[in-house]
A and B are shown apart, each in its own frame.
Chain A
Amino acid sequence: MDLPYTTEIRPDTGLTSPTLGIWLFLASEVMLFGSLFASYVLLRVGASTWPDQSSVLSVPLATLNTVILIASSVTMVLAWASLKKRSLPAFRLYMGLTLLAGALFLVVKAFEYGDKFSHGLVPATNNFLGLYFTLTGLHAVHVLAGMVVNAYLWLPGARMWRSDPARFTHRVEIAGVYWHFVDLVWIFIFPVLYLL
């Protein structure tokens, strides 16, 4: 059975079903991360003392991760633009670079976590580290989930390009919206946890 409105606009919403679906999902994600940021505000404002965040965490590594994630957003949108220009090889190149950037982000994050653990800094150490590990850990899970979807579109999912290029391009666009959202969340995590 063919799903309706995968690439055609639904008259009542003015959107394709995948587009509406991803935005509704992202709305729930905003509330998920929003509640954690709100917890941070609550605990920090209510605390009599708070650690100097930039001395506890590694600002250079976080800056590097920011650059990596921003670059991955560019390669992701270029992967979609390549399909619009009907070039599957260019799509494979840019999507491959996006996956590489995602993997690099996680490797840097793993180094950061390893360094904290080696110094005995764990989520139970204090409220700040509890929030740091929760927020960055949840974000890392989101990066991993995006990588799984992107890897599927990069290799087995790309078969759809031959049978239904418009639908495949739309799938990449939807995956891109999610990936950019993950980048957007990091843009707030970086100053809030590392710099302020």
Chain B
Amino acid sequence: MPMSEHDGVRVTPYLVAFGALLALTVATVAVSWLALPATPAMLLGLTIATVKASLVAVAFMHITSARATVFLTLALTATFCAALFGLILWTEADHVLGTEFTNPFESQGGTQ
């Protein structure tokens, strides 16, 4: 693309994004001071991190002006990443739900 089409780059949005990222960083640290239970603290912390990451992607990486090829690549990556985390949480589901291993042979009176 000829450079003249981009000559009017505005820096204000970058500075606004910078301010928002700093404010969200303070919010991230503040959440850790609230001493919330583990699950809400984790959800809140990761939500703020996701908002910050989206800000970086939109404001600095110009993701909104990306073409379909980029979105397809990212969608495929996100699918594999979700599968990776999903399978791990599924594997560990017993620990998450607090269920315990029981000996399947106990009810048959056997000693295994």
Measured CB to CB, the residues of A under 8 A from B are 7, 9, 13-15, 19-20, 23-24, 27, 30-31, 34-35, 37-38, 41-42, 45-46, 54, 59, 63, 66-67, 70-71, 73-74, 76-78, 81, 84-86, 165-166, 169, 176-177, 180-181, 183-184, 187-188, 190-192, 195-196
Nearest CB in chain B: distance from A39 CB, A: 8
Cross-chain contact B69 with A20 (CB below 8 angstroms): yes
Cross-chain contact A81 with B14 (CB below 8 angstroms): yes
Known: A27-B73, A45-B92, A196-B45. A70 touches B61 (CB 8 A): no
Cross-chain contact B85 with A45 (CB below 8 angstroms): no
Known: A38-B84, A38-B88, A66-B25. A166 touches B69 (CB 8 A): no
Give the number of chain B interface residues (Cβ < 8 Å). 52
Contact of A181 among B3, B7, B61, B81 (CB under 8 A): B61
Chain B at the A interface: mostly helix, strand, loop or mixed?
helix
Cα of A20 to Cα of B72 in the assembled complex, Å: 11
**Other A-B pairs beyond A31-B80, A59-B29, A190-B25, 9, CB < 8 Å:** A27-B74, A27-B77, A34-B80, A45-B92, A59-B32, A70-B22, A86-B3, A192-B46, A195-B32
Cross-chain contact A180 with B69 (CB below 8 angstroms): no
A63 CB contacts on chain B under 8 angstroms:
25, 29
A187 CB contacts on chain B under 8 angstroms:
49, 52-53, 56
Cross-chain contact B74 with A188 (CB below 8 angstroms): no
Nearest CB in chain A: distance from B65 CB, A: 11
Measured CB to CB, the residues of B under 8 A from A are 1-3, 6-7, 9, 11, 14-15, 17-18, 21-22, 25, 28-29, 31-32, 38, 41-42, 45-46, 48-49, 52-53, 56-57, 59-61, 66-70, 73-74, 76-78, 80-81, 84-85, 88-89, 91-92, 95-96
A-B contact pairs, 9 of them (CB 8 A): A15-B70, A20-B69, A23-B69, A31-B84, A38-B88, A41-B92, A46-B92, A86-B7, A180-B57
